[in-house]
Structure formats: structure tokens, C-alpha cells
A and B are shown apart, each in its own frame.
Chain A
Amino acid sequence: MNSFLQSINYESWVLVALLAIPLLGAAAILVLRSKSEIRDGPEDTRAKTIAFAVLLAEFIVSMGLWWSFQPGSAGWQAGVDYSWIPMWGIRFTLGVDGISLMMVLLTTFIMPLTVLGSWTSVRTKLRSYYALMLVLTSGMLGVFLARDLFLFYVMWEVMLVPMYFIIGIWGGERRIYASIKFFLYTMLPSLLMLVAIVYLGLNAGTSSGTPNFSYDHLLVAPPLTPHVALLLFGAFFLAFAVKVPMFPFHTWLPDAHVEAPTAGSVILAGIMLKMGTFGFLRLALPLFPGAAMNPTVRMTILILAVIGIVYGALVALVQPDFKKLVAYSSVSHLGFVMLGIFALTVQSVQGALMIMINHGISTGALFLLIGMIYERKHTRLIDSYGGIARVVPLFAALLTFVSLSSIGLPGTNGFVGEFLVLVGSFKTYPVLATIATTGVIFAAAYLLWAIQRILFNKLDKPENEHIPDLNRRELAILAPLVAVIIWLGVYPAPVLRRMESSVEAFVSRVETQSAQTVGLINLAP
């Protein structure tokens, strides 16, 4: 495989291609002629066929990275670097390392499945919908691939607009409220982050005033005063904490997740929530190790993470709406990720990355399953179901299996990540790790209880007796997800091996850098 990839000079063009392919696909969809109403209606399969083909091609192209990636190296791979706006020191620099590789593959893996998941549920304005999905793909990949902070910011904002339209046009009843809330919540801290980025760029720039936003350069740039570093970290923290979302910045999430169309929810939960934790791993910690590892700051974030774990789980427990339940479970799961990152041991950070992948796959699958049953019954209320396991056995089996993986049953992917986080953080923060463990128990409670009420209680509603079971398209969507769930649960070593060097480099960098600056900041009055 590797020799083939080398023969086509794969590494020199793959990242640019990953950003360009979806954009070309979007352009192709937009130039499609729609002569009459029906051409843009549910009967028109051209737009979705193109979108699926493009995203499948994108996935195949990205898979090459799995083989071409050198596991032993913590540096950038497949990097490209072009000049963009030389006047302002802005460059178009891309690259992958062990941390972003898995995020890129997760994105390209989930996107074609979301197109299949929207196949029959999206029935209006198909061309615009699929074009926006493709633009969104480029934006998300851009965030994971950017090595220039300015480019990172641009991509960060670019994701926002397609998602705003996807929620606002194709969403549920309260879609307008949810989309505006989503937009504004994300935009305010992002702009504060922009101010911080400008400050960093100028600080690292030349004496003649040309800023420098290169990530690698900023890592070795002259250190900031502790006070400034703390403020800049605060701006980055807000931008990422809203995206994660950390308690108490999570209130946009239930609205956005519930009102978004199925594909929107899958993308939000599966990929976009990881932008926040990825931001911490890529930018907030390596750039401001002193501020992030300041005992007060670190403890505050850790406590917020643990509150998020327990609070998300408890709120999920009482939700009558299954989609909202899964949305709150995300708050809980992402709390684990934050705990793992800020506990800062190699194991816990690896675990955090594993949860990021697993949560994308399991929660994505859950949202897809909810979408499938919603298309049949047009309700998501847990109470309106009951005992449908006998009516839809395939659906029941898959829902149970995916829920178990989300709970973290050993043998499924969910177990690996949470176990690593708990083991890793127990070394440094035994009390917090112990409290966090209850989150796992609550997770079992809310999901199993919900499944019981949906699938296994008495079949007491006559209208539920004739629900059609999953069809072949739906099975085709879920099969790859189930395969990955089992693969990562049984044999996660190849994934762990690919992220190991980068994680080790990350942990040692943050630890040594913060050791140098710790003690300089005194938060006490």
C-alpha cells in the first residue's frame, strides 16, 4: 500500500484535495439545472447521488492517510505550505499529526453516512441542502488540518454558516430559535478568540509590524507575560468551552441537537463537538501551558468537567424526548474528554482522544437510529413507544447494541476510552476520577431505562403494532458503524499506536513548559 501511495506522490496533494473535493462537489450540485418544481423536490435524486459519490470519494482518498501515516513520529505529516496573504503574514499551511489524523478520518467516515441518513428525510431544496453539507465538510476538515492560526479561525467560522442554514431551514419546529442561538453562542467567543489570535500573531511577528500566525512559529515565539497569557487563554477557553460544550456553556446544545435534522444532529454530535476539545489539544494548552496548568485554572476546569459529567447524566435521566436525552448524554461524555485532557497523563489524553472518536461513532449512530424511527412515527417521545422490540427486531437489536457501546460495555469502543481516562486521571486526581465514575453508572441508568421503555415494556399502543422494520439502505448506514464499534472495542491498538507519539509530545510539552512558568502567576489577591 505504502509503495503505491508513494508512487502517486500521495502526501504532497492529499490535504489540499481533501479540502477541494467537497467544494468542487458543491459547485457541481449548484450548477445542476432545476427546470420545474419536481426537479428540486424529493423525486430528484441527482443532488444526493452526487453528494454521496463525492463524500465516498473523499473517504477513499482520506483512507490513504491511515497507511501513509508514520506512527513513530510526533511531527507534521503530509504538510503543505502556501503563501496566502503575505502582507499580513497569513499562510495557507496544512498538516496532520496523531491528534488530528483520527479526527480527519472520523469526519470523512461519518459524512457519507449522514448523506445516506438524509436520503428520504430531507424533501425540500435538495440542491442547497447537499451543497451546504459539502461546504460544511470542507470547513470541518479545514479546522482539523490548519497549521496557521488565522486559517484555523477562518475555517472555524466557515463551519458556522452551513450549519446555521441546515438547522434553520431543514430543522424542526423551533428551528429558527435554535439556529440563531447556535450562531450567536458560537460567534461571541470566536470573535474574542480572534482578538487573542491577532494579539499572538503581532507578538510573534516581525519588528516592522507584519504578524506571524504560523502554529509552529508561535510555539517557539517569545513567551508572553503570565497575565497576558492568562487573558488570551481565557479567550481561547471560552471559544472552545462553548463548542465542547462544557457546563455551564452548554445551553445551546439541547436546542440545536433537537431541532436540527438527523444529519445535522449527527454532524453536530459526531464531529463539531470535537472541535472544542480538539481546540484545547491543539491550541489552548500548547500555546498557553503556564496559564492552563495554573493550579486554580486547572482545578476550575476539572471541576466544571466533572460537574458536566454528572449534571449531563442526571438531566438525561429525566428527559421525555429521546433525542434530548442523547443530546444531554453528550454533555456528560464530553466532560470525560475534558477531564482526560486536563488530567494530563499520556493515558488520560489518549483516552480522551478515544472518547472523541467513540462518541462520534456511537452518538452518531444513536441519532441516526432516532431519525429512522422518527421518520416512521413522527414522534421522539419515549412514552409514545413501548414494547416495539417484537415489531421491529432489527431496529431493537441495533439500538440496544449501540446504546451498550455508548454506555461503555467492555468489548465495545466506549469502554476503551472511558477506562483510559479514569485510569489516567486517577493517578493525578483520585477524588475527581471517583466522582466521574458515577457518570458511567448514570449513563447505564438513563440509556438502559430509556431502551426498556421504548423496546421492552408491554406493547400497549395499537398504533405501534405495524411499524416497518429497517430497510436495506438503513442497514447499510448502520453496518459500518457497528463494525467500527466492535473493531475499536476489541482491537484499538492500531489507533492508539498512531496517536501515541503525538500525545506523548503534547503531554511532555505542556508539562515542561508549565513547570517553567508555574509560580510566576499568582492569582491570589
Chain B
Amino acid sequence: MTFDLSVPSQLSGALLPDLVMMGGAMLLLLWSAWRPESERHQRNVGFLSIGLCLVTIAVIAVYGTRHYTATDGVVAVDAFRWAADLVVLIATMGCIALSIEYNKREGIMAGESHVLLLLATSGMMILVAARDLMIVFLGIEMMSIAVYVLAGLNRRSPRAAEAALKYFLLGAFSTAFLLYGIALVYGATGSTNLTAIANTVAKHSLSSSPMLMIGVALLLVGFGFKMAAVPFHMWAPDVYEGAPTPVTAYMAAAVKAAAFAAFLRVWLEAFPDLFVQWHLAAWWLAALTMVVGNVVALAQKNIKRMLAYSSIAHGGYILVSLVIGNAFGGSAALFYLFAYTLATLGAFGVIVALGESGEPNLEIRSYSGLWSVRPSMAVAMAVFMLALLGFPIFGGIGFFAKWYILKAALQATSPQPKLAIVLVVTSVISAGYYLYVVMVMFMRPREEGASVPPVCGPLTRGVIWASAVLILVLGIFPDAIAFWAETSVPHATVTRANRTMPVLYQPTARSQ
């Protein structure tokens, strides 16, 4: 069926998955405040939160399989939205599962922490659905404010407080850029609706309007902050390091996925005609992010900081798919986000599993000889590292994710062989730090006096094994996920982008 978004009841129909999520989160919030804080209560709230995510996924599955659509309006009802929702919800469930046991260990009794994750997730669901810059802003704020609180969840840890404050200040700063950008775009085009913006730009050939240019540039900066693209990445390592590990996993996986999905939609749906103008900026953003993220990650000694920089670098790879600027890029980005989410969840799961109360020691060195004391954890971590590296078979779906982006980059209307080369060369650089982790775990002897890490709980183990098995199995049979990604592109762009795409390079000798 097609939702007529101008009718309020149908608009709420289009927003049903989001409403289920938000309503459920509110009820859970009430319930978690109802009882005194206790470990058991915290766990129950956590389980119910996972249940709520499952219900939401069920609703999304119904909407997705029935191919509902909507008239042009404030939100999109398309496969891209459901796909992005699914990635975000999988990440959320994994992080809640991790944080149930993490909270127990760290003595965090507040069941509200899970509800905050749900609230952030509902913000993300709004964000990826948005087809209006005001809704984009609303989604980003809903998501961010909840995550600011989550970063400082552990009140006893000064590092967490620093992380939360830093994240809040820089987040607020970047929001200002975003808002100003939205205002200028509105000023230039007279609308905040993505399709209306695109039509106005095409109709009045606004592609040289300075106001619009500055607006788009400010939007790029605002999104750049949220995606932690270089040079707007400075906050990420400190925040990732200080926040509780499950929250870090959440920021690395879900926040990144939602920000990229929204970014892709805004750029492909609102500014296809400005391709020439933003193309170069995005090109450099992608190249810089890949190079800086990977090179700086080489120097990290703390595993969470290392993964923070690696996550910045992965943002660079995903940006490549944006530079491509067409449907191929969109599906490559979705596929990548899915694979990256699995690997990130797994890697942070291992960090949670091996940590001790207060996480005093997160040096990569402390994993020395892990293979001899916890062989299964070492093997799982090796799989996640190889998946992030993008290695075939042993890194499973991680390889196909990179391959998909490479293929899209060479297949685009304006092929990007140079960016493809940057991608593979920086991938080799990334081998330096991913393999370092593998090397430390397998080839170094256990440090003297190092204690054997405690056995982790069933939930953490479940998250780790589920992601490892999914990575490996989908790494041999990626067809289903590929099909799903290919059919889930931002739908307005498929015809639009192809029609109006200016050809910068011919796929001939010169571009080589």
C-alpha cells in the first residue's frame, strides 16, 4: 500500500516501527523507574529491551516484505530505510546484550541505561527515515542527547565524565554547523524537503548560488563531525576510550551506521545536481579519512583507541561509496555498514569479555599469549580483526564489503580508480595494526604475572559467537545480503542520479 503522508493517520502508519520503538521505550522507562535499583532489575529491563528490538524488527519485516511506499513527504517509506533500521537494531541488540553483563561487573545498577540505548535507537530510526532536513535534525538530536548521557554512564569513572563532556561540547558545536547549514539551504531553496530542494536546484539552476554552496558545505561539516570524518574526527578517540565499552561499541557501530545512512540519503536525494560541487570535497574527505585514520591507528597502544581510529578509517571507506554518487554506492555502503557492524560488535564483545572491573588495563600488550589461556577468544578476535582488515574467507564478509566498494568505485559513471588505489593501499597499512593484535595474541608468550581473564557470561559469549559465525558463513555465501543491499538503495535517486549525473571522467585511459 502507499501511505499518503498528508493524512495524519497514514503518517503515523508510515512511522509505526518508530512509534513502537518509542512507545515501548517510554513504557520500559516507567517500569525501570518503578522498582528500586538492583542487579536483577537491570537485567530484566535489558532483556525486555532486546525483546522490544525484536518486536520492532518484526514490524519492519512486515513493512519491508510488503513493499509499502509513501507519497513524497517528511519521511521515506522505502527499502533503504528498513535496511538501515535493521543494521541499527542489530547493533542495538548486541550492545544491550553486552551491557547487561558489563553493568553487572561494573556495578551499574540503573536499568535506565538500556532504555537510553533504546531512545537513541529511536532517534536513529527517525534519522534514517527522514526526508526533510528538519526531521534529520530532530533525529540527530534525539540520537545524540541520549548518547551524551550514555558516554558518562559510569559516574565513578573520571575518564567517562571527560568523554561525556567532550562529546557533548563538540556534538553541540557540530549541531550548530548543521543547523546553520540547514538554514542556508532553506534560504537558498525555500524548502527543507529533500525532493523539493533537488527540484528547486534543478529548476532554477542554483548550482552556483553562494548561499546554497555555503549551506551544503556547513552540512558536510556537521555530518562530518557525526561520522568522525577527518578532519572532524578529533573527538572520537577520547570519547571512545572513556565511554563504557558497550557504549563505545554502540557509537562505533550504530551511531556511525545511522549517520552514514542519513548522509547518503540527504546527499543523493537533495543535491544530485550539485555533484560537481561537492564531489571534490567528498573525494578529499574520503581520502584524508582513510589515510589519517589508518596511519594514526598504527601508533595506538590502547585497544579501544586503536579501534576508534580504525572506525574512523572505515568511515573513509564508506565515504568512497558516497563519492561514487549513485545507487551502486548506496548499496555498497549498506553492505559495508552491515559487515562492519558485525565485526565491530564482535571485537568490542571480546574486549568486554576479557576486561576486569574498572577496565584498568586495555593495552593491546595485555592480550599477549591469549591463545594459550583463552584459545576460543583469541580465534574469535582474530576473525574480527581479519574481517575489519577485509581478508577473504578468514575475514568472511569483511572481504566482500571492501570488494563491493571497490567494484562500485570502478563501475561508477565516473570511475574512481585513484580512490580505489588509496583504499587498497590504506588497507595494507591497516594490516599493520590489525595483525599486530593477532600477532600479540598468538605469537607472544603470556606476560609474567598476568592473570588469566575470567570466564565471561553467556550473553557476551553469545554476541561474540553469533557475530563470528555470521561473519564466516556470510563470507562464503554473501549472495542474500548482497541482494538485500542492492535492492535497498535510496529510491528517489535511482533514476534521478543516473539522469543528471555529470560525467567528470570517461572510463578510459585518462582516468587511469
Chain A contacts to B: CB under 8 angstroms: 85-88, 153-154, 157-158, 161, 164-165, 168-169, 175-176, 179-180, 183-184, 187-188, 191-192, 194-195, 198-199, 202, 209, 211, 225, 227-228, 231
Q: How far is the CB of A34 from chain B (nearest CB, A)?
A: 10
Contact residues of B between 392 and 416, Cβ < 8 Å to A: 392-394, 403, 406-407, 410-411
Establish whether residues B428 and A191, one from each chain, have CB atoms under 8 Å apart when the complex forms.
yes
Establish whether residues B509 and A87, one from each chain, have CB atoms under 8 Å apart when the complex forms.
no
Is B356 located at the chain interface by the 8 A CB criterion? Answer: no
Binds A, one of B1-9, B75-83, B214-222, B419-427: B419-427
State whether A86 and B417 are in contact (beta carbons under 8 Å apart), knowing that A195-B406, A228-B512 are contacts in the complex: no
Establish whether residues B391 and A211, one from each chain, have CB atoms under 8 Å apart when the complex forms.
no
Establish whether residues B391 and A194, one from each chain, have CB atoms under 8 Å apart when the complex forms.
no
Question: How many chain B residues touch the partner (CB < 8 A)?
Answer: 34
Establish whether residues B435 and A211, one from each chain, have CB atoms under 8 Å apart when the complex forms.
no
Is B443 located at the chain interface by the 8 A CB criterion? Answer: yes
In the complex, which residues of chain B have a beta carbon less than 8 angstroms from the beta carbon of A231? 512
In the complex, which residues of chain A have a beta carbon less than 8 angstroms from the beta carbon of B486? 87
Complex alpha-carbon distance, A187 and B394, angstroms: 14
Q: Which of B427, B443, B477, B508 touches A168 (beta carbons < 8 Å)?
A: B443
In the complex, which residues of chain A have a beta carbon less than 8 angstroms from the beta carbon of B410? 195, 198-199, 202
In the complex, which residues of chain A have a beta carbon less than 8 angstroms from the beta carbon of B424? 188, 191-192, 194-195
State whether A86 and B479 are in contact (beta carbons under 8 Å apart), knowing that A168-B442, A195-B417, A198-B410 are contacts in the complex: yes
Q: Which of B394, B421, B442, B479 touches A85 (beta carbons < 8 Å)?
A: B479
Instruction: Identify the interface centre among A175, A180, A211: most chain B CB within 10 Å of its CB.
Output: A180
Interface of chain A, main secondary structure: helix
Establish whether residues A192 and B421, one from each chain, have CB atoms under 8 Å apart when the complex forms.
yes
Is B483 located at the chain interface by the 8 A CB criterion? Answer: yes
Complex alpha-carbon distance, A316 and B417, angstroms: 41
Q: How far is the CB of A395 from chain B (nearest CB, A)?
A: 32
Establish whether residues B392 and A154, one from each chain, have CB atoms under 8 Å apart when the complex forms.
yes
Establish whether residues B443 and A175, one from each chain, have CB atoms under 8 Å apart when the complex forms.
yes
Establish whether residues B431 and A157, one from each chain, have CB atoms under 8 Å apart when the complex forms.
no
Complex alpha-carbon distance, A158 and B396, angstroms: 11
Complex alpha-carbon distance, A466 and B96, angstroms: 66
Closest residue of chain B to A156 (Cβ to Cβ) is B392
Is B213 located at the chain interface by the 8 A CB criterion? Answer: no
State whether A198 and B403 are in contact (beta carbons under 8 Å apart), knowing that A161-B386, A184-B432 are contacts in the complex: yes
Q: How far is the CB of B420 from chain A (nearest CB, A)?
A: 5
In the complex, which residues of chain B have a beta carbon less than 8 angstroms from the beta carbon of A157? 391-393
Establish whether residues B428 and A187, one from each chain, have CB atoms under 8 Å apart when the complex forms.
yes
Q: Which of B427, B439, B512 touches A191 (beta carbons < 8 Å)?
A: B427
Is B478 located at the chain interface by the 8 A CB criterion? Answer: yes
- Please provide the 6 A-B residue pairs with the shortest distance between their CB atoms, ordered closest to farther: A191-B424, A227-B509, A188-B428, A168-B443, A154-B392, A157-B392
29 examples of A-B residue contacts, CB within 8 angstroms: A85-B478, A87-B483, A87-B486, A154-B393, A157-B391, A158-B394, A161-B391, A161-B394, A169-B442, A179-B439, A180-B435, A180-B439, A184-B432, A187-B428, A188-B425, A188-B428, A191-B428, A192-B421, A195-B410, A195-B420, A195-B424, A198-B403, A198-B406, A198-B407, A199-B410, A202-B411, A227-B509, A228-B508, A228-B509
Establish whether residues A195 and B439, one from each chain, have CB atoms under 8 Å apart when the complex forms.
no
Complex alpha-carbon distance, A231 and B393, angstroms: 28
Contact residues of B between 149 and 172, Cβ < 8 Å to A: none
